[in-house]
C-alpha cells in the first residue's frame, strides 16, 4: 500500500499538532450572542407586526435577558483576546472583509439598543418604576416616539449578529469544516430557536406558549434541513471536506454531535413540543432547556471540531 | 516588486540551521518557530521517495490572514511581505485559524507573530537570516518582478510547485522538485 509519512519540526504551542487557538470563550460567546440575537429579532418582528398584545412576553419580557447575554458574551470575548489592552483597536478600524470587524460593530449597535428596549419596558417588570430625573423621562418619551424605528434597527442588527456568528467561522477556508456558507443560516436558525425557547420558558400565557412551541418546531425543522444539506455538501466536495464531515460520521465527534446536538437538542424537544400541541401535559421547562442546551452544544462542537479539520500537504 | 523565496528540495538536508538562524535573528521565544523543516516520505518500501522542505509563511498574494484581521494589524507592505503591527494586534486568533499553512503563532507577549522575510534585513540589502545561513545554499530569495534576481533565474531553470495552491492563497514560496 502506498503510504505517506510527514514529519514536521514545528511544534508551536496552540498550533501543533492540532490547532487549539480558540477555547470555551468563543463558542460560549457565539451561543450567547446568537441567543440574544434570536430574542431581539423575535421581539422586534412581533412589535413591527403589531402583535405586541398577543405576544407580550416575547416583545416585552424576554428581551430583558438580551443585555445580560450580550454583556456576558462580550466578557467571554475579552477573555479570548491575548493582547487585551489593545482591544479598542477594534473600534478605530472598519474592515469590510473581516467578519470579526462586522461583529464588533454590530455589537456596538445592538447592545445599547437592547438596553434601550429594556428601559422602555421597565414598567412591565416593575409596575411602580419611575425614572426619577426629568431628562430620563424626556429620553423615554423620545425613544417611545421612535420605537418602530428602534425595532427595525434591532431586527436588522439582530439578523446581522445571528448570521455573523456563523460567517465568522465559514470565512476560514483553512478549516474545511467551517468553510461552508450554510453555517451562517444554521447559526441564525439555532439562535432563533434558543430565543423562542427563552420565551417558552418565561411566558405564562397558554396561547403564547403554544405559538412559541410551534415556532420552535418549525425552526428545528429548518435546522435539521440545513444540517443534512451541510453534510451533503461536504460529502460531495473535495477530500478535505469529506474528511471534515467524517469527524461527525465515525470520527471523534460522532457521539457528542449526534447525541447532544441532534438527539437531545433537536429531536427530543421537537417530539415533546408535538406532544404539547396535541394536548399532552409536558412541562414547558423540559423542551425549552433542551433546545437552549442543544444550541450551546452545536457551537461548542463546531468550534472544537473545526480546529481539528485541516488541509494536509 | 514581488518578493518570493525558492527552496531547492533536492539540496535541502533538513539540518534546521534556517530555523535556528531565524530564532536568533528575530529573538523568537523558546518553544516557538517562524520557520520549520518538514520531511515527507512517500511510496511503498523499498520504492521510497523523500522530500525535505524548509517552510515558513508563504506571503500569499491573496492572504486570508490579512482579510480576516479585524483591526488591520495584519497587512501587506511593499514587495508583498505580510506583516503584523504589534500594537494594533488584539490577539483574537482569527489570522491563526485562517492560515492553511499554520504559519502563525501566538507570541507569549500577546500579539500574533510570523515570518517577516526578515524585512529589516531585506530593506538594507541583505538576504533573510535563513537564506544567509543555509549551508547547502538551497534557499533563494529575491524579487520576482526582476528577471535577473536569484529567484527568477533559478525558477526559470527548474520545475517547481507551491503548497496547497487549491486553497486559493497564491503562495509565494516555491519548492523546486
Give the pLDDT confidence of B5-58 residue by residue, as tens digits: 999 999 999 999 999 999 999 999 999 999 999 999 999 888 999 999 999 999
Q: What is the pLDDT of residue A2?
A: 67
* Nearest Cβ partner for A15 among B44, B105, B166: B105
Separation of alpha carbons A246 and A254, rounded Å: 8
B39 Cβ partners below 8 Å, 6+ apart? A6, A7, A8, B14, B50, B51, B52, B53
Helices assigned H by DSSP within chain B: 17-25, 64-68, 94-98, 119-123, 129-133, 150-157
Residue showing cell 488541509: A311
Encode burial over B81-95: b for 16+ CB neighbours within 10 A, e otherwise: bbbbeeebbbbbbbb
Q: Where do the structural domains in chain A lie, given as residue ranges?
A: 25-308
Indicate the length of chain A as a whole number: 313
The CATH number, out of the four listed (1.20.1440.230, 1.20.1630.10, 3.20.20.70, 2.60.120.380), of the domain defined by the range A25-308: 1.20.1630.10
Q: Which three cell numbers stand for residue A198?
A: 427563552
Any CB–CB contact under 8 A between A94 and chain B? no
Any CB–CB contact under 8 A between A17 and chain B? no
ipTM, interface predicted TM-score of the complex = 0.91
Say yes or no for a CB contact (<8 Å) between B97 and A22: yes
Q: What is the pLDDT of residue A1?
A: 58
Rounded to a whole number of angstroms, the distance from the CA of B69 to the nearest CA of chain A is 6
Across chain B, mean pLDDT equals: 95
Q: Which three cell numbers stand for residue A271?
A: 417530539
Rounded to a whole number of angstroms, the distance from the CA of A137 to the nearest CA of chain B is 38
Closest CA to A191 of A68, A98, A291, A263: A291
Closest CA to A100 of A126, A81, A127: A81
Convert the pLDDT of each residue in B103-129 to its tens digit: 999 999 999 999 999 999 999 999 999
Q: CA B33, B89, A12 angle in degrees (round to 5)?
A: 20
Separation of alpha carbons A277 and A214, rounded Å: 8
Measure Cα distances from B65 to A87, B70, B96, B175 in Å.
18, 10, 7, 22
Q: Which three cell numbers stand for residue A26?
A: 468563543
Helix/strand number for chain A, H first, E second: 13, 1
Domains of chain B, start order: 3-176 (3.30.70.20)
Say yes or no for a CB contact (<8 Å) between A86 and B88: yes
Measure Cα distances from A57 to A33, A112, A258, A281 in Å.
20, 21, 32, 21
Q: What is the pLDDT of residue B9?
A: 95
Q: What is the pLDDT of residue A132?
A: 87
Q: What is the pLDDT of residue B37?
A: 95
Q: What is the mean pLDDT of each run of 10 residues along chain A (313 residues)?
A: 81 91 96 97 96 92 96 95 94 93 95 96 88 90 94 96 94 94 96 96 91 94 97 95 96 96 96 92 91 96 95 81
Q: Which three cell numbers stand for residue A301?
A: 462542537
Amino acid at each position: 500500500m502506498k503510504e505517506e509519512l510527514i514529519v514536521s519540526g514545528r511544534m508551536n504551542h496552540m498550533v501543533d499538532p492540532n490547532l487549539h487557538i480558540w477555547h470555551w470563550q468563543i463558542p460560549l460567546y457565539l451561543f450567547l450572542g446568537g441567543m440574544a440575537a434570536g430574542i431581539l429579532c423575535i421581539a422586534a418582528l412581533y412589535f413591527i407586526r403589531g402583535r405586541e398584545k398577543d405576544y407580550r412576553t416575547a416583545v416585552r419580557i424576554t428581551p430583558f435577558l438580551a443585555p445580560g447575554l450580550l454583556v456576558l458574551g462580550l466578557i467571554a470575548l475579552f477573555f479570548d483576546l491575548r493582547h487585551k489592552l489593545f482591544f479598542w483597536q477594534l473600534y478605530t478600524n472598519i474592515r469590510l472583509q473581516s467578519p470579526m470587524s462586522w461583529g464588533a460593530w454590530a455589537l456596538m449597535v445592538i447592545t445599547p439598543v437592547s438596553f434601550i428596549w429594556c428601559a422602555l419596558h421597565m414598567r412591565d417588570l416593575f409596575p411602580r418604576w419611575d425614572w426619577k430625573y426629568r431628562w430620563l423621562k424626556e429620553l423615554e418619551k423620545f425613544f417611545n416616539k421612535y420605537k418602530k424605528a428602534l425595532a427595525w434597527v434591532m431586527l436588522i442588527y439582530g439578523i446581522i449578529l445571528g448570521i455573523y456568528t456563523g460567517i465568522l467561522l465559514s470565512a476560514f477556508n483553512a478549516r474545511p469544516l467551517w468553510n461552508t456558507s450554510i453555517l451562517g443560516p444554521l447559526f441564525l436558525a439555532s439562535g432563533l430557536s434558543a430565543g423562542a425557547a427563552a420565551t417558552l420558558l418565561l411566558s405564562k400565557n397558554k396561547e403564547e406558549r403554544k405559538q412559541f412551541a410551534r415556532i420552535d418546531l418549525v425552526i428545528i425543522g429548518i435546522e435539521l434541513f440545513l444540517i443534512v444539506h451541510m453534510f451533503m455538501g461536504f460529502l460531495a466536495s473535495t477530500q478535505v471536506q469529506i474528511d471534515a464531515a467524517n469527524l461527525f460520521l465515525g470520527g471523534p465527534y460522532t457521539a457528542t454531535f449526534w447525541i447532544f446536538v441532534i438527539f437531545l437538542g433537536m429531536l427530543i424537544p421537537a417530539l415533546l413540543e408535538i406532544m404539547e400541541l396535541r394536548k399532552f401535559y409536558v412541562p414547558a421547562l423540559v423542551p425549552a432547556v433542551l433546545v437552549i442546551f442543544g444550541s450551546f452544544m452545536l457551537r461548542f462542537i463546531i468550534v472544537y471540531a473545526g480546529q481539528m479539520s485541516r488541509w494536509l500537504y | 516588486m514581488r518578493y518570493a523565496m525558492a527552496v531547492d528540495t533536492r539540496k535541502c538536508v533538513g539540518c534546521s540551521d534556517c530555523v535556528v538562524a531565524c530564532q536568533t535573528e528575530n529573538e523568537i521565544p523558546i518553544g516557538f518557530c517562524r520557520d520549520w523543516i518538514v520531511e515527507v516520505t512517500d511510496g511503498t518500501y523499498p520504492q521510497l521517495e523523500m522530500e525535505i522542505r524548509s517552510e515558513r509563511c508563504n506571503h500569499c498574494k491573496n492572504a486570508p490572514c490579512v482579510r480576516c484581521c479585524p483591526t488591520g494589524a495584519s497587512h501587506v507592505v511593499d514587495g508583498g511581505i505580510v506583516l503584523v503591527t504589534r500594537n494594533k494586534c488584539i490577539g483574537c486568533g482569527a489570522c491563526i485559524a485562517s492560515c492553511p499553512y499554520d504559519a502563525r503563532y501566538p507570541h507569549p507577549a500577546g500579539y500574533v507573530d510570523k515570518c517577516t522575510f526578515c524585512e529589516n534585513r531585506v530593506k538594507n540589502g541583505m538576504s533573510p537570516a535563513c537564506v544567509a545561513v543555509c549551508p547547502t545554499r538551497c534557499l533563494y530569495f529575491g524579487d520576482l518582478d526582476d528577471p535577473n534576481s536569484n529567484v527568477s533565474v533559478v525558477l526559470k531553470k527548474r520545475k517547481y510547485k507551491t503548497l496547497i495552491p487549491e486553497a486559493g492563497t497564491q503562495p509565494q514560496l516555491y519548492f523546486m522538485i
